[in-house]
Amino acid sequence: MTAPHTLTRGELPDSDKWDLSHLFTNVDKWQEDVAWITETYPRIAQWRGKLGESAASLGAALEFEKQLDLKIERVYHFASLQLAEDSANAEYLTRMGQLQNLMTKIGETFSFVTPEIQAISDERFAEFLNDPALAEWTNALRKIRRNKPHVLSEPEERLLALGSAALDGYDEVFGQLTDVDMKFGSIADSEGVERPLTQSSYSSFLVKRDGELRKRAFHKFYAEFEDHQFTLASALSYSVRADVFRARARKHPSALEASLFRDDVPVAVYDGLISSVRSNLTPLFRYYELRRRVLGLDELHPYDTYVPLVAEIETHVSFDDAIEKVVAALEPLGEEYTRTLADGLRGRWCDRYETKGKRSGAFSSGSYGAPPFILMNYKEDVFSDVYTLAHEAGHSMHTWFSQGAQRYQDYNYPIFLAEVASTFNEELLTHYLLEQTDDPKMRAYIINRQIDDIRGTLFRQTMFAEFEKIIHAIEERGDALTLEVFKSEYRSLLQAYFGDGVVLDAQLDLECLRIPHFYSAFYVYKYATGISAAVALSERVLAGEPGSVDAYLNFLRSGGSKFPLETLQAAGVDMTTSAPVESTLRLFDRRLSELEELL
């Protein structure tokens, strides 16, 4: 039978696509703003050598930079979303390249700003912070000043700015290779129908009941990665080298500490996460053994760990039905939250389905004063995509509340907090779905889903975080990062986190080359800490604890006005202790016991 082809964007109705006219009504308007940016940014030179003269002078320069940044954020947002629609579109690639070149020039021209701010004496800087001219900039200035030990001289900052695009080349190589050049072909399903195998559809095959189909999909998918493994290993090694270079250039002890410094997160939080999870792997191994028994397998492979354990329930949820479920689940957060989200999802915030050349996965992306857009590759037969929608909606509503409460310079929240908002929504969705059914099989299905969510977000992302720490340490001590080193280190972690009860196919060693987040290092641990904080916050809201909803909504409104640990502490969660992580690990154990009883 002929394989169904992947749709092009022209074959989708507009109602299934995001509406980027909220950013720009047409490309001519985008070009006008790019031209304005190009003509305007050199005017920053009028403040060169004058930022320390007075609070008024510094305030004027910061306001000029803000107005420029507002335009830059929006044009970049538009270009990046269009490129996500079709990574092979030459026009979109050209516009993104144009912007990247422009950003390099702007970075070079503005390279004097931060060093001049850092050169202001401590006494004078304290006076500036109390001056009404800088009243709206105190948070931003304190954050800038905190970086003083890691800001270089003006010529050095200029060189780093000039080299930024070249240093990030590995990311473009990875994206073009995996989203455009790599072809996975098609695979016959259980009925003999040829289905396209893509980065997005791969997950659809792994949730099928047919074990042979899962196996064939796994091996066919990884065969393509095996054909490109040396190129991918080279891209990943240059990613690590760039991280280490930037950390050393800015006088940080390590790439890990450089990354954590931005959020004022102690290394002890990162290491404590790994330690807590490593000490609680026994329930995870118990879960894998339950999977093997329930699925009736002689041996369990990693590609068998995604299929729902309840055989009778294979869901088909339309996108509109998914919206209904997500909005209903979030009703405890109040009408403002749910009405805004429902209107946005039905009003084309979201690009819904997979199309040819579209970026794989899902994300939420916002810019100040514009809707927070969501990219999905929604599959009706993958129930986890309902959770993905809830997850990305959490990001979008975080952006919406933050924009409404904060000035531009304080609205942009860090990823550490973003993953709390997204995972919080998933916890409320699970609670809602469990309340909607008394059917033991459906309850088992939903609990299995929550267990898999904790497994994927806490256990798996912690394994990823440990891998990132290991490979950066290898580079920092001067050893070579080769394909075999990547595979060997990743194999050791697979063995530790899967245990003796799972058969690890040799091809799975290549997984370390295909995880997009590895090319943006020290990001994934925030998923694990995020779910831990989200569980704690959601339990308070669902228990009806007085003030818990307001505390959570104020957390969303706080944006980036404070550092993450301080923001979470105000909401009622202390991430400097192991308590939130260990509480989530106990939840996993409790849910597993319930699932064992139900099955």
Dihedral sign, Cα of residue 589, residue 574, residue 397, residue 32 = negative
Determine how many CB atoms are found less than 10 A away from the CB of residue 381: 12
**CA–CA dist 86, 80 (Å, integer):** 10
Cα 391 to the chain's mean position, in Å?
Answer: 10
* Residue 2 burial class via C-beta count within 10 angstroms: exposed 0-12, middle 13-18, buried 19 and up: exposed
> How far is it between the farthest Cα atoms of the chain?
77
Amino acid at position 227, single letter = D
Distance CA 364, CA 389 (A): 10
Element holding 449 (H helix, E strand): helix 440-454
For residue 265, CA distances in Å to 259, 269, 327, 344, 412 come to: 9, 7, 33, 34, 17
Nearest 5°: the CA angle 366, 91, 201 is 65
First to last CA, the chain: 38
DSSP 451-469: HHHHIIIIIHHHHHHHHHH
Q: Which one of 85, 354, 392, 475 is the catalytic residue? A: 392
Locate all alpha helices (DSSP H) within 110-207, ordered by sequence: 113-119, 122-129, 138-146, 154-167, 169-176, 202-206
Candidates 204, 229, 236; CA nearest to 218 is 204
Q: Could you give the CA distance from residue 585 to residue 579 in angstroms, rounded to a whole number?
A: 10
Work out whether strand 350-351 and strand 373-375 pair parallel, antiparallel, or are unpaired: parallel
392 part of the active site: yes
Q: Within 13 A of 270's CA, how many CA atoms are on the CB side?
A: 24
Q: Torsions phi, psi of 188, nearest 5?
A: -75, 130
DSSP codes, 19-56: -GGGT-SSHHHHHHHHHHHHHHGGGGGGGTTTTTT-HH
- The answer to whether 84 and 359 are in contact (CB under 8 A) is yes
Angstrom distance (rounded) from CA 580 to CA 568: 11
Helices (H) and strands (E) in the chain, counts: 27, 5
> What dihedral angle (degrees, nearest 10) is formed by the CA atoms of 468, 471, 473, 476?
-120
Do 538 and 548 contact (CB within 8 A), yes or no? Answer: no
Name the CA radius of gyration of the chain, rounded: 24
User: Cβ(472)–Cβ(240) under 8 Å?
Assistant: yes
Residue 205 burial by Cβ neighbours in a 10 Å radius (0-12, 13-18, 19+): buried
Catalytic positions: 392
